[in-house]
Structure 1
Amino acid sequence: MHEVLRLDAVGQAEAVRSGAVSPRELAEAAIAAIAARDGELNAVVFPRFERALAELDAIPPGAPFAGVPILLKDLGWRQAGEPYAAGSAVREGAEVTEDGHGVRRLREAGFVVLGRTNTPEFGSTISTEPVAFGPTRNPYDPAYSAGGSSGGSAAAVAAGMVALATASDGGGSIRIPASLCGLVGLKPSRGRVSLGPALGEGWSGFSCPGFVTRTVRDTAAALDVVAGYHPGDPYDAPPLPGPLAAETGRDPGRLRIGFLTAHPRGDVPEDPEPAAAVGAAAALLASLGHDVTPGGPEALADPAFAGHFGAIVAENLAAQVDGLGESRGKPVELDELEPRNAAMVSLARTRTASDHIRATQWVDAFRRRMAAWWSAGHDLLLMPSLGVAPFRLGWIPSDDLGLALGRTGHAVAFTSPVNATGQPAISLPLHRTAAGLPVGVQLVAAYGREDLLIRVAAQVERARPVTHDAMGGSARGKG
């Protein structure tokens, strides 16, 4: 592996500015890394190498990330002139006509887009195994899932193809792949990053764009590039005190942190790996001077949450599928969809507009109940990033929907409530299984407090540096 690829994106940008490497050399090194690793991992579904190299001369002078390679998740993150499948054969041949605001800002900052990454069909599950493009494999062991729905992005970053890649999170889809691939993954506050101009919101506000990275400073710096309100956006997150990149060196102070190793709802089996990860993280945070005690919001115990959340997601998926039918001039038939999505669309079509509004009103009340815990004096909540241990490809079966939905529900039990509330949450790579597979933990802050998350995440990173040993070479296990 070219040694410059071991640097994070901030380090690569510094190498370009110093003249240690040219943008072309950096891009060509990343292209070579993708060629060497992607046949095994299947992370990149739409490469655009020649176009990327041709665009190097158009990088804006003085751009902060001039020449730094990046990959875009093939869900959201629209780029003009490029394919956009969203993991589905239904969208075969679809091409985007206009850059999304986030993609435009990335390109203005000097990032070089090398391609688009694999995602499950319409991003509706937590393992990247779309029928249309095949499974993405975990660089730590190719028999295991890289997670989803940002699994292609996470696998590419963990394998050292690029230093960072775009992602999105509607129920855990940044934090879960970050956990499984040993990365940093921050789901921003609702409204922090615009989904425009194509969309105002995703999944009724549950879904947020973001990144998977190898360092906290990359996460902070990348969010600084794309964050910001655009006229017409339905949400505008509270202003931050300054650039997130500046928060990486600031002392977070003594924080009051609650933690959960088991889900308070009672119907989610406690898995020893996530529980051990949270226990170790709690001890580390206490050693750093924080006040760490068991407990969390009472609202998390409400058994009605999963049903309302799942119904809203299904209704959004049905609307998306109906829109695709209109755009192509003929309805999308259920047998064109993967069984999971066909079942969700079928469920949504039995519900009324009144059902949808009542579900969103229930979530509104849930959000207020959750926020009360932070308002009462807590700063952060520590929980698993994923409610289950790292899992093999195929663990979420395509031929048993009941089992698939049950396993998915347990896996997202700690992440999806934070999508419903719109709060920011970050997954940090602080644990490994006995087999060496990464297990992340997440910290959740009050709405709008990404600055606090970055401060404490950087403090944790300094205290417990991470070795990214899946970079370069073949994935080490064979299952």
Structure 2
Amino acid sequence: MDMKTYLSLDATALAGLVKKGEVNPRELVELSFQRLDEVEPKLHAFTAERHEQALLDAENGGNGIFGGVPVALKNISQALAGQRLSAGSKLLADFRPERDSHFVARLKAAGLIPIGHTNTPEFGLKNISEPELFGPTHNPWNTDHSPGGSSGGAAAAVASGIVPVAGASDGGGSIRIPASFTGLFGLKPTRGRTPVGPGAGRQWQGASIDFALSRTVRDSAALLDELQVVQPEAAFQTPLFPGSYTQQLHHEFSGPLTIAFSLESPVGTMVSEDAKQAVLKTVRWLEEQGHRVEEQTPDIDGVQLMREYYLMNSGEMALLQKNLEKTFGRRLTEDDMEIESWLLATAGKRVSAADYSASLAAWDAAAAKMAELHARFDFYITPATAHPAPEIGELSHSKESRTRLLQALDMARDTTDQQELIYAMFLPSLSYTPFTQLANLTGQPAMSLPLHVTEANLPIGVQVMAQKGEEHRLLQLARQIEQSDLWIGQRGNPFFQ
């Protein structure tokens, strides 16, 4: 197989050729590394590669629905025995897990061959992938821009053709944001659908979930068939979908859909004209198909909900810091972490149990509001991101900014002041991506569809949310749109020309 053919095929097609004997797994792995060597100096998508191990895996590859197909893993939670898993933190730069996570084990059982781990911001806390430990990952559409985060390395790997699919995770949009910025399909499943294990805990109290980024809908559908599981020890139990997500792609809706949409930022920030146009042309297409579409915004205080989200982040980071101090046998200092991690961890030490519990109650209240909306509407559509991808460095904190934030932290008198500081710290990045967090806090499935490109040739996605457990309907809609002229995908991406 030549490189042009490799780049043109998705994981499903590549696996089909392996099953027919027209290509072998070693050839595919070699092609993936050939592509990696070619584009990695421009993108910096990977934090670790496993050439020899992947080629050894390929000798025994070929089994499973994706038998022999290369895959990339995310450098957070997706543990591969003996391989570095740093979460973008210099504290964990040499950490090597002793066993595969359950999630990675299921990827391997499906026949996928991990070729390495991809870049991510420290502890997955940002919507860009520019960790101090590894440096920034660049967007294949325009290398002056970010591919987003926290699954930015994964997005760059798929949107440059290194691999057809990549492991990703989403705790506030970290699958859908990079998908929007790089022209990929990004599905965040229902809370509990694809648990990580072992010992992964509640993953930000259920806000975060692991899945994948892909270039085609059918690849994500087939992956969800393989990765959905009920684990007895998992904190969140979601019943298995009784059918096949792949087969669902071939079904038609029984009648016209009723769909809500909104163009308003939930936190009152500006939404670009490109983001609005992406949604509006999707709305027109849906109406042309006979569906009923109505502009409707949920009755949810988006600013307050984000404050509750950051309060949870604070508590989780305080616990992480405590555990790391036990591991290293010393107190951590501000020099051990990036500024966002340090401020969250410091503020988290002041968060009371009552405030933390109230935060989670606010999530549940938002979930109830969305359930009310979905009693009337099949889907809820917004921009996936409010703007196309930011430039590299645009949302990172300079040394001067870090100093100012540390000084402000010292002056903060109480928990309220600290949480206000955290909100202000994240607001510039939140203004780029204010739409995705809602689905994380309610537990709903949501997807980003690659349906628009700006005049500057930067993609921007459209987000669709559904009621819990209805990934099959999201995938069904995505497949119908994918077969229309509305779908942009990688058209215009210089790495595919």
Query: Shorter-chain TM-score: which interval?
Result: over 0.9
**Is 1:80 the equivalent of 2:81?**
yes
Name which of 12, 18, 21 aligns with 1:10. 12
**What's the CA shift for 1:327?**
2.2
Aligned to 1:327: 327
| 386 and 473 in structure 1: CA distance in 2 versus 1, 3 angstrom threshold | closer
Query: Which AA in structure 1 matches 2:298?
Result: P
Aligned to 1:368: 368
Name which of 465, 472, 483 aligns with 1:451. 472
What are the equivalent positions in structure 2 for 1:277-356 lying under 5 Å apart? 277-299=278-300, 301-356=301-356
Higher deviation after alignment, 199-208 or 231-240: 231-240
**What's the CA shift for 1:366?**
2.1
The answer on whether the counterparts of 1:297 and 1:373 sit within 8 Å (CA) in structure 2 is yes
Higher deviation after alignment, 208-217 or 268-277: 268-277
- 3-state secondary structure, aligned to 2:143: strand
Query: Which AA in structure 1 matches 2:488?
Result: V
**Is 1:384 the equivalent of 2:406?**
no
The answer on whether the counterparts of 1:139 and 1:181 sit within 8 Å (CA) in structure 2 is yes
CA RMSD of superposed structures (Å): 1.7
Q: For residues 465 and 365 of structure 2, what CA distance do their matches in structure 1 show?
A: 19
Aligned to 2:156: 155
- 3-state secondary structure, aligned to 1:460: helix
Aligned to 1:422: 443
Query: Which AA in structure 2 matches 1:455?
Result: Q
Aligned to 1:433: 454
Query: Which AA in structure 2 matches 1:262?
Result: E
Q: For residues 386 and 325 of structure 2, what CA distance do their matches in structure 1 show?
A: 35
Query: Which AA in structure 2 matches 1:466?
Result: I
Q: For residues 146 and 335 of structure 2, what CA distance do their matches in structure 1 show?
A: 26
Structure 1 segments unaligned to the other structure (5+ residues): none
Query: Which AA in structure 2 matches 1:55?
Result: D
Query: Which AA in structure 2 matches 1:251?
Result: E
Q: For residues 56 and 330 of structure 1, what CA distance do their matches in structure 2 show?
A: 43
**What's the CA shift for 1:338?**
0.6
Aligned to 1:30: 32
What are the equivalent positions in structure 2 for 1:214-253 lying under 5 Å apart? 214-252=215-253, 253=255
Query: Which AA in structure 2 matches 1:358?
Result: A
**What's the CA shift for 1:264?**
5.0
Q: For residues 225 and 239 of structure 1, what CA distance do their matches in structure 2 show?
A: 11
**What's the CA shift for 1:161?**
0.5
Deviations 1:63-120, CA, capped at 9 Å, x for gaps? 2111100000001111111111001111021001111111111111111110000000
TM (norm. structure 2) is: 0.91
Q: State the identity as a percent.
A: 35
| 268 and 187 in structure 1: CA distance in 2 versus 1, 3 angstrom threshold | same
Q: For residues 467 and 457 of structure 1, what CA distance do their matches in structure 2 show?
A: 12
Aligned to 1:201: 202
**What's the CA shift for 1:284?**
1.5
Query: Which AA in structure 1 matches 2:166?
Result: A
**What's the CA shift for 1:429?**
0.2
- 3-state secondary structure, aligned to 2:260: strand
Query: Which AA in structure 2 matches 1:414?
Result: F
> Alignment length, in residue pairs?
471
The answer on whether the counterparts of 1:195 and 1:201 sit within 8 Å (CA) in structure 2 is no
Query: Which AA in structure 2 matches 1:468?
Result: Q
- 3-state secondary structure, aligned to 1:463: coil
The answer on whether the counterparts of 1:74 and 1:119 sit within 8 Å (CA) in structure 2 is yes
Q: For residues 196 and 473 of structure 1, what CA distance do their matches in structure 2 show?
A: 35
**What's the CA shift for 1:388?**
2.5
Q: For residues 163 and 340 of structure 1, what CA distance do their matches in structure 2 show?
A: 32
**What's the CA shift for 1:404?**
4.8
Query: Which AA in structure 2 matches 1:318?
Result: A
| 471 and 8 in structure 1: CA distance in 2 versus 1, 3 angstrom threshold | farther
Query: Which AA in structure 1 matches 2:44?
Result: N
| 436 and 424 in structure 1: CA distance in 2 versus 1, 3 angstrom threshold | same
- 3-state secondary structure, aligned to 1:411: coil
TM (norm. structure 1) is: 0.95
